[in-house]
Amino acid sequence: MAEEIERKFLLRSEGWRGLAPGMAYVQGYLAANGACSVRVRIAENSATLSVKSTTTGAGYREFEYGIPLEDARQMLATLVLEPLIEKTRYTVEHKGFCWEIDEFHGRNQGLVVAEIELERADQPFEKPAWIGEEVTGDPRYYNANLARAPYGEW
């Protein structure tokens, strides 16, 4: 089990573009309720099954396991809640921290968010100039909720 602390932000500019190559992700949720979510994800040629606890502020628990790629494809085609989450992830290093920028496609087109993973909730970090408003505690931006209420429908 891994306890993770992540903070999530909207972006204020396109200044991050060109700083890293992107990787295509497609994911779907087998279950999502008030206590946890169960996600199937394909990232290029690898697949994972993840169980995440409900987010409380910036922290949550996540259990993640590699699964056969063909199993993931079948689950995404037949078992998950619609719509699928489609995005391109860019990993950008800035001042000793790794920022994961997700540019959403499909029914979440137009949404771009950045996350930073921290060792502790009060850990200081310097925001790049392209980081905007923090949305860590806003459940609308959780991927499991974007599968139920896509950004394009807000």
CATH topology for the 2-153 domain:
Hypothetical Protein Pfu-838710-001 (2.40.320)
Query: Collapsing DSSP states into helix, strand and coil, what is residue 58?
Result: coil
Please confirm, yes or no, whether 60 is among the known catalytic residues. Answer: no
Which is more confidently placed, 4 or 8?
Answer: 8
**What pLDDT score does 61 carry?**
83
What are the residues whose beta carbons fall under 8 Å from the beta carbon of 44, sequence distance 6 or more?
23, 24
Token pair of 154, please? 């807000």
Q: What is the DSSP string of 64-113?
A: EEEE-HHHHHHHHHHTSPSSPEEEEEEEEEETTEEEEEEEE-GGGTT-EE
pLDDT band with cut points at 50, 70 and 90 for residue 60: confident
**What pLDDT score does 32 carry?**
84
Q: What percentage of the chain reaches a pLDDT higher than 90?
A: 79
Given a cut of 60, whether residue 73 has pLDDT beyond it is: yes
Given a cut of 60, whether residue 1 has pLDDT beyond it is: no
Span 126-146, average pLDDT: 94
Span 59-70, average pLDDT: 91
Mean pLDDT score of the chain: 93
For the chain, what are the domain ranges?
2-153
**What pLDDT score does 57 carry?**
63
Query: Rounded to an integer, what distance in angstroms lies between the CA atom of residue 27 and that of residue 38?
Result: 10
Out of 29, 90, 141, 142, pick the active-site residue. Answer: 29
The pLDDT tens digits for 21-56 are 999 999 999 988 878 889 999 999 999 999 988 766
